[in-house]
């Protein structure tokens, strides 16, 4: 991650392709499978959502993300390693106002029993609920009012999850070969195959992490109460596009410019350094 000028946004730069860039923007959403991908012309960047979630939650609006491959490293399946690195590097406050997209009236989208909506609120809040046909995941729900601290403590460490059946299916198709028990919680028919959970409701917390990252493709942090049930990347990104289209449902507001100063580095709980 490299510094970028005010109003330049988040840009992924493929140094293995001579520095071609893909902006983190809803207009460039590409393949959505188990992760959110971006594409501009023939240039692809996959699995952007966990990094984008960390960036928007830590107040980073402008950054160049250099990659030497088509995929953002999955790390441990959470956003905690990205938070750690950002805090290690520090964040510079630019002499430009931070702009937000403030929701003025409700917007909603439903596909079958999957639903997502956003309502006016003075803060960015997320309420998420999930239900799976699995003994450990029948129902989980959580509401969180986002701040940097809340994200770092309660959301960033939550890891992605997958079902053993799906892993086996993918392997048969020659996919997910790099996937392992190190970068996702893997659910068997009756239990978890790896590690202890970091939270009792780690699964729904990870869905909150995902939707924050997908909504970051709007390009401005959102002020509103997002409510989602059984969503996934396809629903999240379709909704982000719909929010941008419904221009009478929001306004752009500016936060006052504060004195330029380096951000204070916060301690990060429960994170060990990834590979040196």
Give least dist CB 132 to Zn ion, A.
15
Window 88 to 147, contacts with Zn ion (CB under 5 A): none
- The smaller minimum CB distance to Zn ion, of residues 74 and 244, is found at 74
CA gyration radius, the chain: 18
Give least dist CB 34 to Zn ion, A.
8
Phi-psi region of 19 (alpha: psi -120 to 50; beta: other; left: phi over 0): left
| 32: phi then psi, degrees, rounded to nearest 5 | -125, 110
Window 180 to 239, contacts with Zn ion (CB under 5 A): 210
Give least dist CB 51 to Zn ion, A.
11
* Number of chain positions touching Zn ion (CB under 5 A): 2
Give least dist CB 207 to Zn ion, A.
8
- The smaller minimum CB distance to Zn ion, of residues 76 and 210, is found at 210
**Residue 233 annotated as catalytic:** yes
Q: How far is Cα 274 from Cα 271, in angstroms, rounded to an integer?
A: 9
Distance of CA 9 to the CA centre of its chain: 16
Q: Site mask, Zn ion, residues 51-90, x = CB under 5 A? A: ----------------------------------------
- The smaller minimum CB distance to Zn ion, of residues 70 and 120, is found at 70
- The smaller minimum CB distance to Zn ion, of residues 91 and 218, is found at 218
Active-site hit among 28, 50, 225, 233: 233
Chosen residue from 57, 160, 162, 237 binding Zn ion by CB under 5 A: 160
Q: Residue numbers of the site for Zn ion (CB under 5 A)?
A: 160, 210
Known catalytic residues are 233
């Amino acid at each position: 991650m490299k510094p970028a000028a005010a109003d330049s946004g988040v840009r992924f730069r493929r140094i293995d392709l001579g520095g071609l860039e893909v902006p983190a923007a809803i207009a460039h959403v590409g393949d959505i499978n188990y992760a959110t991908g971006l594409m501009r012309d023939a240039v692809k960047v996959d699995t952007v959502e966990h990094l984008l979630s960390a960036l928007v939650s830590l107040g980073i609006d402008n950054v160049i993300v250099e990659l030497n491959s088509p995929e953002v490293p999955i790390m441990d399946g959470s956003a905690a390693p990205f938070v750690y690195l950002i805090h290690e590097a520090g964040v510079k406050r630019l002499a430009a106002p931070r702009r937000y997209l403030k929701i003025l009236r409700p917007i909603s989208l439903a596909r079958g029993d999957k639903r997502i909506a956003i309502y006016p609120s003075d803060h960015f809040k997320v309420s998420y609920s999930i239900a799976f046909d699995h003994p450990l995941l029948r129902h989980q729900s959580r509401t969180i009012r986002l701040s940097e601290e809340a994200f770092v403590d309660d959301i960033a460490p939550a890891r992605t999850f997958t079902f053993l059946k799906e892993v086996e299916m993918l392997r048969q198709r020659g996919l997910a070969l790099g996937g392992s028990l190190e970068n996702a919680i893997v659910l068997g028919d009756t239990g978890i195959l790896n590690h202890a959970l970091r939270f009792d409701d780690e699964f729904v917390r990870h869905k909150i992490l995902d939707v924050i990252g997908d909504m970051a493709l709007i390009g401005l942090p959102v002020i509103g109460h997002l409510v989602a049930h059984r969503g996934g990347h396809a629903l999240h990104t379709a909704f982000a596009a719909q929010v941008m289209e419904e221009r009478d449902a929001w306004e752009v507001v500016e936060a006052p410019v504060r004195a330029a100063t380096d951000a204070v580095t916060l301690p990060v709980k429960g994170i060990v350094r990834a590979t040196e």
